[in-house]
Every structure is written in structure tokens, then in C-alpha cells.
Amino acid sequence: MQAHIQSAYVRSDGTPVSGSNHRAGCKKNPASYAFWNNRLKARLPPKWEFKNEKSKVWTEDEKEKVLEAISALPPLLVNKIVSGIYRLKTSAQLPENPAANFQNQIALYDKAFESKRNVARVLGYEFSHIYFQGMEKPEQVDYAIAAEWEATLWNGLRDKELTLNRKGFVEDDSQNNPEEDFANNIEYFLFNPKTLKEKSPKVYDWISKKFGGNFKLRIVK
């Protein structure tokens, strides 16, 4: 770890952290730090959809928050097919969005680092999208059935033509398509499991069965 001044922020487990002066060598970084540190990019992602978006240079604070956040997420979710995590200024499509993903790339916007945000939660949601995209079709169908999408319409039809039949969902945009629904539900399973279990118990059970008892946030020491 490099020496740097760290501003106050919220840890991946929700604990507030006051500002401090970190000295080099104050703790040993997890093994995953080196892997992901090499994937923190300060340019526009290749083949990015929105060419008018602007890149930014990472601050040491931001890097530390991202690396700590990744270390806190379950290893099963942190997909190493992600080729880069890019630092951009603002989403051109949805200015309030903290992040986006496209073709195994994740972009983190200024909004991701606001004090009200949990960086691990932001990244967990984006990794969930990428995880779903990498699932085999039968596995996606299995999720759709458990989540009460119109399974008989799945084969041969686009996501937007599917209908969510269950009454409870954690976010309104869960109704958009199975992928959005999956990403929202994984986010809530990790960060607000009580709400997910109350609103969508079948989905909660499906995630529990698929990922097992170790699928939870890890404490970053």
C-alpha cells in the first residue's frame, strides 16, 4: 500500500470510517489486490457505447476503496473475465448512475464515490450483471422459472417480451428483464437479505441453493 491521505467514507460492510493518514506498509494487501490493481484503467473502455463520456485519473483513495470492496465480495461473484474497471466522470445516458458495464468491462462514475454510496454494493451489482451474462442458457432459464418470469415465453424471444409474474420485487426495474432482476436480487441477497427474503422468498431460496452458505460478504481486515 502506498502512503496517502484518506478521506472519510463508508466501508464495504457499512461501517463509517473517519479520515486518516495511511503510511506505506501499514498492512499487508490481500493477494487479489495485485490482480485487480492491474485492471484499474484511466481511459475510456474499448468499444464503449458512449463515446462522449470522459475518463478520469484514479486517486489513491478511490483505488483503495475499490480494491477493498472487491476483497469483501464473495469470490464466486467476482468474475475475473472482467478485463478492466474504468474511472469515468458521468454517465451520459443516466447521470445519477454510479456505474455501468459493457462487454466484460465496468465503469465507475463520480457518483460511485459519493459518501452515501457503498462501493462494494455498486460493484457487486455490476459483477452480478456480468455473472448472469456468462451463465449457460439452461441456468438462466432455471433462474427465470424460480423468479416467476413467463418461462413458456423464454425460448426464442427477447427479454423485453417476457413478463414478471411474481408480486414482490426489490426494485422497480427488476420488471425490465431477467438479467436486471438477477442483478438486483444478488445485490439485496448480499446487502439487504431480509428485504429480499420478504419480497421474493423463492428467489432468495434459489440464490441460497445455487451459491451455498459461503456466498456472503467477507470481512476486510
| 99 and 139 inside one domain | no
Structural domains counted in the chain: 2
| 87 and 154 inside one domain | no
pLDDT of residue 24 exceeding 90: no
The secondary element (H helix, E strand) that includes residue 101 is strand 99-102
When pLDDT is cut at 50, 70 and 90, the band that residue 13 belongs to is very low
| 89 and 191 inside one domain | no
Closest CA to 206 of 140, 154, 111, 122: 140
Mean pLDDT of 128-154: 87
When pLDDT is cut at 50, 70 and 90, the band that residue 26 belongs to is low
Give the CA diameter of the chain. 58
| 30 and 100 inside one domain | yes
If one counts every other C-beta atom within 10 angstroms of the C-beta of residue 128, the result is 24
When pLDDT is cut at 50, 70 and 90, the band that residue 156 belongs to is low
| 17 and 65 inside one domain | yes
Determine the distance from the C-alpha atom of residue 70 to the mean position of all C-alpha atoms in its chain, rounded to a whole number.
9
Rounded mean pLDDT of the chain? 85
Residues pairing with 149 in the sheet: 164
When pLDDT is cut at 50, 70 and 90, the band that residue 163 belongs to is confident
pTM equals: 0.83
| 15 and 105 inside one domain | yes
Say how far apart CA 214 and CA 90 lie, in whole Å.
35
**What pLDDT, in 10s, does the model give residues 59-108?**
999 999 999 999 999 999 998 899 999 999 999 999 999 999 999 999 99
pLDDT of residue 49 exceeding 80: yes
Q: What is the pLDDT of residue 31?
A: 64
143 lies in which domain range?
135-211
Q: What is the pLDDT of residue 162?
A: 79
When pLDDT is cut at 50, 70 and 90, the band that residue 157 belongs to is low
